[in-house]
Amino acid sequence: MSEATLYQEWTDEQKYAHFMKRIEVGEKIEADDWMPEDYRMTLIKLISMHGISEIMGALPEKEWVPKAPSLKRKLGIMAKVQDEMGHGQLLLRVAEDLMKPLGRTREDIMQDLFSGRLKFHNVFHMEAPTWGDAGLIGWLVDGAAIITQTNMLNASYGPYARALKRICAEEVFHAQHGEAIIMALAEGTEKQKVMVQDAVNRWWEALLMFFGPGDASTTGTSKQDITIKYKIRTKTNEDLRQDFFTKYIPRVLSLGLTLPDETMYFDQEKNLWVYKQPDWNKFKNIIKNNGPKSNERLSLRRTAYDTNKWVREALNTAN
């Protein structure tokens, strides 16, 4: 193949080989570059789910924004949840560029969310009944998110990698914000200590599920292999869960909190945390929008979307 051959005249096989070579050497793929269909579809699914999860993720915390117990905490949580919405917007823009050749838009993303075709992260289907949960979400859920997102910072798709870089930087502040809330509670009155321990107990299983099942046997499908093949991510779900344990278990214990899994220990020989598996059937149900708060949150989002329809129509007229 001579240099002079026009790229447009290449066969799909040639383009594929060239694409794989590019990602092998660490080059970034950009929105207008040629990419295999399954790469595009995997990215659309991954990034639109990530984006919409950031947006749906604002809802469990939303309850606690007006209720935060001091001016300082109110300002902190307002800033935090605003960041999450900002991440959602940034990611949806990345997904929109990928969807453009398919003739799909933001409106399709929203409709897919409402119809259940587009899932949002299992962790955001859960209840957050106390201020302790607000702190715990910031600390451990955002902490878990930092671990999964750091795993994709070198993703082969340039626009996603760049968005994640900014998101991870902000998530670090969120985890500090959450940790500050949790520390105040853990060092506070008896009632406050109970509040934070209850939150840990309530969220433990959801935190294990956060990283997804170890392999495809749980849900029938898994994108782990294809995302690793295309260098979107490097580590498996189980690797990430282990990283989370290593980072956070000492911190949880140092605050005088206990883990709701008495069987858990670190196996020095295998260099692995051994723990009780969450109920993966529950997980399957949650991601089908049958979690404790799935319907309420979807319905809140849908009602707002419908109530504001006139605004979007007016903007379309004006443009």
Partner 1 sequence: MSKPERKLIDEINPALTSLLYQLADDDFILAYRGSEWLGLAPHIEEDVAFSSISQDTMGHAAMFYQLLQDFGEGDVDHLAHGRKSSERKNAVLLEMVNGPGHYLSTAQYDWAFAVIRNYFYIQSKKIRMDSLKNSSYQPLAEVAVKVNMELYYHLLHWKTWFVQLMEAGGEARSRMEAAVKKTLADFGGVLSLGPLAKEMGEQGLIEEEEILKQRWFLMMKPIFESVNLTVSEADFAMKNGNGRKGEHTADLDAALSTLSEVYSADPAASW
Give the ranges where the chain is alpha helix by DSSP (H): 12-24, 37-56, 58-62, 64-67, 71-99, 106-115, 131-136, 142-150, 158-186, 190-210, 224-229, 237-254, 280-285, 294-307, 309-318
Tell whether residue 189 is a contact of partner 1 (CB under 8 A).
yes
For residues 107 and 117, the answer to whether their CB atoms sit within 8 Å is: no
What sign has the CA pseudo-torsion 278, 279, 282, 284? Answer: positive
Tell whether residue 300 is a contact of partner 1 (CB under 8 A).
yes
CB of 309 to partner 1, least distance (A): 9
Tell whether residue 276 is a contact of partner 1 (CB under 8 A).
no
CB of 319 to partner 1, least distance (A): 9
Tell whether residue 311 is a contact of partner 1 (CB under 8 A).
yes
Tell whether residue 107 is a contact of partner 1 (CB under 8 A).
no
Cα 186 to Cα 77, 190, 194, distances in angstroms: 19, 9, 8
Tell whether residue 217 is a contact of partner 1 (CB under 8 A).
no
Q: 31, 168, 184, 264: which one contacts partner 1 (CB under 8 A)?
A: 184
**How does 252-266 read in b/e, with b if 16+ C-beta sit within 10 Å?**
beebebeeebeeeee
State how beta strands 272-274 and 265-267 pair: antiparallel
Tell whether residue 59 is a contact of partner 1 (CB under 8 A).
yes
Tell whether residue 74 is a contact of partner 1 (CB under 8 A).
yes
CB of 217 to partner 1, least distance (A): 35
CB of 139 to partner 1, least distance (A): 15
- Give the integer Cα–Cα distance in Å for 167 and 290: 29
Q: 14, 30, 78, 172: which one contacts partner 1 (CB under 8 A)?
A: 78
Residue 59 phi, psi dihedral angles, 5° rounding: -70, -45
CB of 199 to partner 1, least distance (A): 13
Q: 68, 208, 232, 240: which one contacts partner 1 (CB under 8 A)?
A: 68
Q: 24, 38, 85, 277: which one contacts partner 1 (CB under 8 A)?
A: 85
- Reported for 66-73, long-range contacts at CB under 8 A and 24+ positions apart, including other chains, are 67/131, 68/131, 68/134, 69/131, 73/181
CB of 205 to partner 1, least distance (A): 23
Give burial (CB, 10 Å; 0-12/13-18/19+) of 47. Answer: buried
Q: 66, 103, 220, 250: which one contacts partner 1 (CB under 8 A)?
A: 66
Size of the residue set binding partner 1 (CB under 8 A): 51
Tell whether residue 188 is a contact of partner 1 (CB under 8 A).
yes
Q: Which amino acid is at 282?
A: K
CB of 162 to partner 1, least distance (A): 18
Q: 1, 4, 6, 71: which one contacts partner 1 (CB under 8 A)?
A: 71
- Give the integer Cα–Cα distance in Å for 178 and 142: 8
Residues within the interface to partner 1 (CB under 8 A): 55, 58-59, 62-75, 78-79, 81-82, 85-86, 88-89, 92, 131, 181, 184-185, 187-189, 191-192, 296, 299-301, 303-304, 307-308, 310-315, 317-318
